[in-house]
Chains A and B, each alone.
Chain A
Amino acid sequence: MASNESSAQNESEIELLRLEVEHLRGLVGPSEKSYEQLALDALGARDAAMRAEFDAGRARARVVELENEVRRWQRDFVWFRNGIIRRIPLARSVLRRISLPKTYLRPIVVRSRSLLAVFKR
């Protein structure tokens, strides 16, 4: 009888200790289960960081492409400005100095305009 009583007492003590361990684990750190969960969370966070990094990479790549396009257009614009636009006043002054009747000048002017149109295209 006495042994039955002591074993019941032991079991209740064990139960109490188990509860205490659970309580302490909750207080001082993760259990094995929550550690696994934490590891999974860490992997998920890494994958999310990778995805975010790749998204940023795609955006950066687009910026690089666009920057290169802009540089090319700038280069072409400089060529157009220096090679064509800045020479127009000179061409005009040359045309003005030629003392030809307007009827003779017209075809020349028309031709130079169509040339500009080609460059604009």
Chain B
Amino acid sequence: MTTIDVLIIEDALTPQEFEQALRSTVADVVVIADRRSTIDARALDLFAKAFSDEAVIAAYCDESVTDSRGRHLWSSFKPDWSPERLRSQWYVGDLLALRRDAALAMIAAVPATRRGLALRWELLLRLSETGGAVAHIPETLVSRTESDPAVLNRYHSTDLLECASVVQEHCGRVGILAQVEIAEPNNALHLRRTVDTSMLVSLIIPTRGSSGLVWGQARTFVIDLISSIIELATWTNLEFVVVADVDTPPLVRRALTRLCGDRLVWVAYDQPFNFSDKINQGRAAASGDCLLLLNDDMQVISPGFIEELVGLAMEPGVGAVGAKLLLADGRLQHIGHRYADGTFHVFAGYDGDYAGPDGMLTVTRECIGVTAACIAIQPSVYDSVGGMSLDFPNNFNDVDFVLGLRDIGLRNLVSPHATLFHFESVTRDASVTNVESDLLFSRWGSHLATDPYSNPNLEPGRIEWIERGVR
């Protein structure tokens, strides 16, 4: 039977005092709480249940935010364990349960200057480095008042600087080469990965050289995309693998040859349209150290988008890395998928600057899937799942692909620091066939119902985070 003790800690508590507190109890698990929080009566039972699994070394729960009179305002529903998000944001909240032995084993290594949030952040990062599991209990077991500065991540800048140094040291310990910066104005951190820019990146761009009208001007999409990459992107060691249908106008090829020179790899595609096959053929022709799949109807916004995506994709354990994509009118088109009674682009159609619940759209985070319109991935990882399935010629090829990556234990990430325009469906027929959706559900039914980066308390079948109604 698991025994639990609750420690109410002050912001000024030092690691030495915390160690004394840990030694003063014989409980298996300690729950660290804030004086300003109200803990639900079920909390200790549920934590005890979570810690009955010996692999679990830490646990956290969802939170409720109330006004000064104790009336419920909103809930903060958290994803399951998301290490990348934790490096950018303290998303786990105020109620944190730790296995006492594991905490005691590493508290001596915590610098004496750590206090409050920085201390908790350091404790959880160090515990996660030991390889133990971190559990998420999808129940609102703690409530905080709206005036609490931790709500909405309104941290003091000096605290955030301390937290940035906590994450910086963590990166050093786990071998992530990155510079940790404070990403204003959302009080989150941004890990700017240090990447070897001499590495060759292969951009795989399927196209048929189509044109359209965007912002009142005619564009030939693939030419304008590659022009924007050449003009704006700070990464220069690029290979442009253009997989073009045979009916692509010859003018497009001439223009691309003039733009890219010998960096152009032209793959003529003479089969009936199959997006997956085109990408696979592009992969076969690519010789880069990292692949970047791009739709042709895009335009670069953030010049460092390749560094951001490649930096994440080249880390071990990472599958596909997606970007933040905006429609021509500046609204969100894509910033990660959500699979809950369907497949959705989260917060699609919201304002491009929308921060999302708990600022989730402002930080690099794990997500169940990303769109194939923009994916950075290592070639070996791409090959490990056999590339994209030819069974999905038009739709859901990305869903099938990213779920395949998760199935072999890889994490998919999305970064808001890599931003592009995506003039979605200007160049293709977006209608979904029943055959494709039936096949997807027959292949991945259980995975599509349990999105670990969503939350069971959220309404399924929606693009946004809305608390479930009373059941």
Contacts and interface: CB of A to CB of B under 8 A. Distances in A.
A binds B: yes
Interface residues of B, number: 21
B463 to A, nearest CB: 8
B469 A76 contact: yes
Nearest to B348: A64
On chain A, which size bracket covers the interface? Answer: 20 to 34
Contact of A53 (B329, B349, B464, B466): B329
B178 interface: no
A46 B217 contact: yes
B350 A65 contact: yes
B228 to A, nearest CB: 14
Contacts of B352: 57, 61
A46 B215 contact: yes
Nearest to B71: A121
B470 A79 contact: yes
A49 B217 contact: yes
Contacts of A76: 469
Contacts of A46: 215-217
Interface in B202-259: 215-217
A41 to B, nearest CB: 12
Contact of B329 (A56, A72, A79, A121): A56
Contacts of A121: 71
Contacts of B470: 79, 83
B329 A57 contact: yes
A55 to B, nearest CB: 9
B48 interface: no
Interface in A55-103: 56-58, 60-62, 64-65, 68, 72, 75-76, 79, 83
Contact of B330 (A42, A57, A75): A57
B215 A57 contact: no
Contacts of A49: 215-217
A49 B329 CA distance: 10
Interface string B319-350: 00000000111111000000000000000011
Interface string B448-471: 000000000001001010100110
A65 B355 CA distance: 13
A64 B352 CA distance: 13
Contacts of B469: 75-76, 79
B101 to A, nearest CB: 44
Interface in B342-384: 349-352, 354
From B330, B331, B350, B352, name the one whose CB has the most chain A CB atoms within 10 angstroms. Answer: B330
Interface in B16-75: 71
A35 to B, nearest CB: 17
A78 B192 CA distance: 48
A57 B352 CA distance: 9
A38 to B, nearest CB: 14
A64 B470 CA distance: 24
Nearest to B466: A72
A26 B469 CA distance: 70
Contacts of B71: 121
Contacts of A57: 327-331, 351-352
A60 B215 contact: no
A118 B42 CA distance: 23
Contacts of B327: 57
Contacts of B328: 53, 57
From B216, B332, B354, B462, name the one whose CB has the most chain A CB atoms within 10 angstroms. Answer: B216
From A45, A64, A65, A121, name the one whose CB has the most chain B CB atoms within 10 angstroms. Answer: A64
A58 B351 contact: yes
A14 interface: no
Contacts of B215: 46, 49-50, 53
A112 B451 CA distance: 40
Contacts of B216: 45-46, 49
Interface of B: 71, 215-217, 327-332, 349-352, 354, 459, 462, 464, 466, 469-470
Given A57-B331, A57-B351, A60-B331, 13 more contacts: A46-B216, A49-B216, A49-B217, A53-B215, A53-B328, A54-B330, A57-B329, A57-B330, A58-B351, A60-B349, A64-B331, A79-B470, A121-B71
28 contacts: A42-B217, A46-B215, A49-B216, A49-B217, A53-B328, A53-B330, A54-B329, A56-B329, A57-B327, A57-B330, A57-B352, A58-B330, A58-B351, A60-B329, A60-B331, A60-B349, A61-B332, A62-B351, A64-B350, A65-B350, A68-B464, A68-B466, A72-B466, A75-B459, A75-B469, A79-B470, A83-B470, A121-B71
